[in-house]
Amino acid sequence: MASFNSDAAANFICSLADLRMQDNHTPDIAAQPELDPDPEIDALLAELDQLEKRELELLSLQASAKDAYEKSHPPSSCVVGLENLDSRQIDLLLRDSASQMHYLIADSVITVPAYRVSAEGRVLDANSSFYNWLGYGPEQVLGGALQLADFTPAEDIAKEKAHFADFAGSIVSNSFEGSRISFDGRYIPTATTLRLLSLAPLEYVGFMLDLTGVRTLEENLRRRNNIFSAIVEEMPHIVFLCDERGVTRQFNRRLYELTGKTAGQDNGSIFLDSMHEGDRQTFLRRFKQAVQEERELSDEFRLLAQDGECYWHTIKLQPLSCVNGLLALTINNNMDGEKLAHFADPAKLWIGTATDIDRRKRIMDEVLESAQAFQSLANQIPQIVWTAAPDGRIEFLNERWYEFSGHSREHKMGLDFALFIHPEDRREYMNRWKSSVRSGDAFEADFRLREAQESKEDYVRCLARAVALRNYRGEIAQWIGTWTSI
C-alpha cells in the first residue's frame, strides 16, 4: 500500500478521532440493531490501526529529526538533518522520502525536470518534464538503456558525485551548476539539487532547473557592462561613484593620471585629498546639502595634479539608486572591506564627473583682465571711447562720456546715443553707422553732439571713428570707436 505523507496522516488521524467523538455523543447508537461482524471490514480496520501507529511513529521520528537539526543548523536552513538519527530512524525517513518521490515522479506532480538514478548511473525513472525538456523517450528509461552519462558531461558527473558528500548530513544536497545534453546534442546550462532515497544501495533523485534564460540575461548584462566600461575608460572626464560621506570609487583612470596615484593606493579618499584646500570644505558643505535634498550638484573646484599645479574642474554629481553588480564595472583599488561593502548596500549613491576646464577658465580670466585693463586705459584717454556689439548697440562708454553728457551710469545706452546727436546730423550719422555694421567697413562721420543733458541747445562738433574687431572665424565680435571734439 502506498504510504501517506505526514500531513495526510495527521489529517486522517484527526478525522478518525472526530468520528469517534461523534460516536460517543450519538444518543441513538444503543437503539440500533447489532450487525454481524464483516471479516473484510475488520481486516480494513486492523490495517488502518497499523497504518495509524506507523504514521504516528513516523511523525515522532520526523519531529525528533527536526529538533536535532534545528540545534545544529541555522533557522534559515530547510534541509532535513541526519546527524543525530540512528540507522533505524534514517531508514524510516528514507523509505518515506522514497515513497513520496516515486509518487511525485510517476504522477508528474512536479513540473521541474526530475530523474531517479542508481549508484551505477542508470536512470531508473523520470517525469514528463524530463522527457519534454531533454527530448528522451520513456521507452529509453523503462528499458534501462538511459545512463546518466548520456545526458550529462563527464565533468558534471564528477560534480554530481562530489555532492554525495552532502548526504552525510542531510537528505538534500546543495545546489550546483553544470550542463545537461539534450537528445539532439544541445548543451543546456542547468542548476541541480539531489535528494537521497536510499543509502544502500545508493539511489537518489535529481531536480534540474534550466538556466538558459538566466545565462542569456547575464551575457546581455556582461556585454552592456563591457560597452559601458569601454566608453567610460575612453572618456576624457574623471568618472566616479560617490557615497554620502564623500568616499569615491573610480570608473576610469583619469584621476590617477592627473594625481600620479595608482589604483592600489586608492582607499576611496584620493578624490577629496586631491582637492585644493581652499575648495575642500566648500565642496563638502555643498555636497552635504545636496545629499540632504537628494539633488544634483554642479560647481567649479580645483584639483591638485602631480606637477604641483591646481587645475580647475567642473564637478557634477547626480544621485542614483545603487544597482547590484555596479562595482563590478569599476577598476580595483585598495578600499577596505567595510567601505567596499557600503557601496553594495541599497543606499543612495551619486555618479560623478570632473571635467577639466582650466584652460577655458584661464582664458576667461585673461579676457576679463584684458577687459578691465581696457576700461582702465579707456578712462584715461581724453576722448570719448566706446564699444558696441556686432549689431551696433553701444555696450561701454568711458568716463569722458559721463563727464561730457552728465548722463547716469546706470542707464544702458544701446542705440539711445542717437538722441544726443543734433537732429540735422542724426539721419546721416545713423545711415553711415548702419552701413558699416552691415559691411564691417571702418566707420567715420562728422556730427554735432549735445554736451550736457541739461543744456539741450549746447552742441559740440565731433569726429566719430570706429573699427570692427573680428574673431578667429572672421566674424565681427565687437566694435571699438571714439568721438573726438574738433
Q: pLDDT grade, residue 20 (50/70/90)?
A: very low
Q: pLDDT grade, residue 453 (50/70/90)?
A: low
Cβ atoms within 10 Å of 79's Cβ, excluding its own? 16
| Cα–Cα distance for residue pair 193/174, rounded to 1 Å | 6
Q: What is the pLDDT of residues 348-406, one digit of tens each?
A: 788 899 999 988 888 777 777 777 777 777 787 888 999 999 999 988 888 888 888 87
| SS3 assignment, position 310 | strand
Indicate if the pLDDT at residue 44 is higher than 80. no
Indicate if the pLDDT at residue 281 is higher than 80. yes
Name all domains of the chain by residue range, CATH numbers in brackets: 87-214 (3.30.450.20), 237-356 (3.30.450.20), 374-485 (3.30.450.20)
Cell of 5: 505523507
| Cα–Cα distance for residue pair 460/422, rounded to 1 Å | 9
Q: What CA–CA distances, in Å, run from 97 to 81, 142, 196, 253, 318?
A: 13, 22, 8, 58, 56
| SS3 assignment, position 353 | strand
**123-130 CB contacts, 8 Å cutoff, 24+ apart:** 123/147, 123/148, 124/203, 130/208
481 pairs with which residues across the strands? 386, 466
Q: What residue has cell string 531536480? A: 207
Q: What is the pLDDT of residues 133-168, one digit of tens each?
A: 999 988 888 777 899 999 999 999 999 999 998 888
Instruction: Give which of 361, 411, 403, 360 is closest to 385, Cα–Cα.
Output: 403
